[in-house]
Amino acid sequence: MRNQSPGSTLRFDGWHETVYQDLERGALDLVFTGGTVPSPFRSEHLFEDHYVCLLSADHPLHAVDKLSLRDYLGCDHVVVDIAGGRQGAVDVRLEALGHQRRASVIVPYHVFAAGAIHETHLVATLPRRFVNGLAENFSQVAIEAPAAIGPVSFSMAWHPRLDNDPAHCWLRETIRETIN
């Protein structure tokens, strides 16, 4: 993006409860979400990803290929606060099954979750695309999350008034090319 539009400024904000109100009033141009996009906003599916559990290399469960739901629920977790102290799809799916995980640390961003598990027995549940490359760099291992957590689908969303805006069309196309 810097090569094609060197004068542009990209600003990334954390998810917040008024994100769609900000999109409506033009304070945000584009939203990335793993949730359902409300009407009247436009959305486009970008990719589907699966969750993995990131653990320190000295975690007692570091050598298993996949965590059972029982083992997963028995762990202490780092939770990425997407909204209200919960991690969106992960916690919603667990609650639908009548389960809750024990949140020992709550952080605002995925990268903080990856850093928080270093030399602990904490588990961070993160999208595989995010984790790829981190495990080797931080002496961590990525293990397949319990099947009950399932995949997550990521989309971008924008206000319909930006459908034909040339700069916004370019931004969306650049994101599509980058993702694939």
Q: Which of 60, 18, 52 is nearest to 38 (CA)?
A: 18
* Comma-separated ranges of CATH 3.40.190.10 domains in the chain: 19-46+153-179, 48-149
In this prediction the pTM is: 0.84
Does domain 19-46+153-179 correspond to CATH entry 3.40.50.2020?
no
Measured distance CA(73)–CA(79) in Å, rounded: 13
Structure tokens belonging to residue 31: 């939203």
Write out pLDDT tens, residues 114-147: 999 988 999 999 999 989 866 566 688 899 999 9
Structure tokens belonging to residue 150: 């399932």
Cross-strand pairs, 151 = 50
Which listed CATH number (2.40.50.140, 3.40.190.10, 3.40.50.1100, 3.40.30.10) goes with 48-149? 3.40.190.10
Distances (CA, A) of 91 to 31, 77, 83, 107: 21, 11, 11, 15
